[in-house]
Structure 1
Amino acid sequence: MGQRQVSQTRWDAGLRPAAVVFGAAVALHGADHLRRGMDVIPPAVMVAGMIQIALAVITITLVFLGSRWAPHAAAVVGLVSAAGFTVAHLLPTWGFFSDSFINAPPAARVTWFSWVTAVIEIIADTVFGLVGIAILRSRARSRAVHTLESA
């Protein structure tokens, strides 16, 4: 087994643990939203969160089925989720898609737990997306080297 193949296997093997952490972070953040109460979440944020949960379930399923599309899904869902949570929770209130923790009113029930779950989710989303990108890059390099060796 060549070095390139070992490298690819190592990255591929990292996708499952990243998917588990990603799934746990999504669940933990969802638990915080349930704790806070669904009545305090803006409708656009709630819809986006439901879409994100559905895409997370699909992506994690692809990972554990060993689908060739899993790293693509991880890259897109992970990085889009990280960006979405960042703009929704870590920026001051800015519009209909904002559930800001920065200047949240007391009725929003934002606590230290909300902050921790949001930050953990953003980190887990980012890592999941970056592992997906690393796998795609590793596969592209392997194909390029294989093509050069075949020529």
Structure 2
Amino acid sequence: MTETAPDSTLRAATAVFAVALLVHGADHLRRGMDVTSPLVNALGTLQILFALFTVFLVVRRHSAAPRAAVFIGFASAVGFTIVHLLPDWFGPLSDSFINAPAAAGVTGFSWFAALFEIAADLAIAVAGLLVLRSRQLSVA
């Protein structure tokens, strides 16, 4: 099977997404896992499992990869925005960087990691949509 431009874009976006996962994870390790609630830790664990599965699907060029990319990309972007970028309105669902207490260990690197992750989430989701659209056009 010949790789199309949208397929190449999805693979490139997936590589950036994988790096963003590592950067964001490194920030959480730096800050300590005890600064986030058990709910945030559980949701983060689910996110990383779905994200790694999506990376696996893309690397294997599985037909479900674009749909997985759209799902994990948009879900992660929304999730990270709620957890990190909104004020602490969501109780145990929040690890807000806005006016974070010193004990949370939020630094400029934390902001970079979260924003990089959200941008990479959106990139992989849009890349997945491009592949799905190109498949629909090639069938029609």
TM-score surpassing 0.5? yes
The one of 10, 25, 34 aligned to 1:15: 10
Query: Quick one: which amino acid aligns to residue 121 of structure 2?
Result: D
* Structure 2 unaligned spans of 5+: none
What residue is the counterpart of 1:131 in the other structure? 127
1:65 counterpart = 2:60? yes
Uncovered stretches (5+) of structure 1, i.e. residues with no partner: 1-5, 145-151
| Larger Cα-atom Rg | 1
1:13 CA displacement: 1.2
Q: Measure how far apart 1:119 and its partner are.
A: 0.3
Mapping of residues 1-150 of structure 1, within 5 Å: 9-95=4-90, 96-144=92-140
The TM-score normalised by the length of structure 1 is 0.88
Question: Any idea what the Cα deviations from partners look like across 1:91-140, whole Å, max 9, x if unmatched?
Answer: 00012211000121111010000000000000000000000011101111
Q: Distance in 2 between matches of 1:55 and 1:24?
A: 15
Offset, 1:37: 0.6
Q: CA deviation at 1:16?
A: 1.1
The RMSD of aligned alpha carbons is 1.2
- Identity across aligned pairs (percent)? 51
Aligned length in residues: 138
Q: Quote how far apart the aligned CAs of 1:83 are.
A: 0.6
SS in 2 for 1:110: coil
TM-score w.r.t. structure 2 length? 0.95
Q: Quick one: distance in 1 between partners of 2:46 and 2:70?
A: 16
Moved over 3 A (4+): none
